[in-house]
Homo-oligomer: A and B are copies of this chain.
Amino acid sequence: MTQITSPHNHKLKEIRKLRMRRRARERAGRFVAEGEDLLAAADAAGWQPLERFCVEGSGLAGLEVDAKLLASASGLGSGTRTLAVYEERWAERAAGPLCVYLHGVHDPGNVGAVMRAAAAFGASSVALGPASADPFSPKAVRASMGAVFSVPVVREGDLRALPGTKIALTTVATAPLAGLWRFTKEADHPPVTLVVGSEREGLPREVVDRADGAVRIPIQTDSLNAAMAATIALYEVTRMAPAR
């Protein structure tokens, strides 16, 4: 039985707001995930949705919604079969032994991709510094491929509060310089925090200065994006210690 048929339904309105506006998410402390894969990832990680919706006649779990209405509330449009609202979870502090800290990474797709890489390589947490995108935005949640439900995220403005040795990755490489050797040596002594800046601006001077070390990924072009840089660094530190 279709349970939601009105475009003015307040639950659908809330979904639209949570999807579109960071402030609405922050105020409510809630976010939306869409699609069967993401909802399955949430289930697998033990997250209970506050409310779950599905398209009429799909046989999926949740409140049945008229297909057009569900599509209009969704960021994916027609073809949306299910979505759910969750409570945001922010960790109290950035956990070690392996943390990724993002400074000024504005692009939510990049933040999501970093979370995905963090999950893939078994990082303990992702810390979000000033001017970083919201990890609970729809684009970040989608790009995370469900990692938002498994990797603890924390807001942290203070580099000193992050675990262990802080290693700044400069994504803008001016020369193909293999500084990663030193880096892996330091990373042999966890905890380690990988400090990653945005693609355009890189890390501000003062952040690099406050880190314990800085390395360049040896590339021949101007830059990698934050997610690629983080992926390589996560690979490099875990490569040496696969059992971490």
Q: Given that A231-B231, A231-B232, A232-B232 are known contacts, is A117 also in contact with B239, CB under 8 Å in the complex?
A: no
Beta-carbon contact of A120 and B219 below 8 Å: yes
Q: Which residues of B contact A221 (CB under 8 A)?
A: 116, 119-120, 147
Interface contact B117-A224, CB-CB below 8 Å: yes
Number of interface residues of A (CB under 8 A): 28
Copies in the complex: 2
Q: Are A117 and B228 in contact (CB under 8 A)?
A: yes
Report A242 CB to chain B, min CB distance, Å.
Answer: 5
Check: A220 CB closer than 8 A to any chain B CB.
Answer: yes
Residues of chain B within 8 A (CB-CB) of A224 are 116-117, 120, 231
Nearest Cβ distance between residue A238 and chain B, in whole angstroms? Answer: 7
Instruction: Report how far A172 CA is from B66 CA in the complex, Å.
Output: 36
Q: Which of A113, A178, A221 has the most CB of B within 10 A?
A: A221
CA distance A113 to B235 in the complex (A): 18
Q: Is the CB of A218 within 8 A of B231?
A: no
Residues of B within 8 A of A116 (CB): 221, 224, 228
Closest to A121 in B: B219
Cβ of A158 to closest chain B Cβ, rounded Å: 29
| Complex interface: chain B residues within 8 A of A238 (CB) | 218
A238: nearest chain-B partner, CB-CB:
B218
**12 A-B contacts, Cβ less than 8 Å apart?**
A116-B228, A119-B220, A119-B221, A120-B220, A120-B221, A145-B223, A176-B242, A178-B242, A180-B239, A232-B232, A232-B235, A235-B235
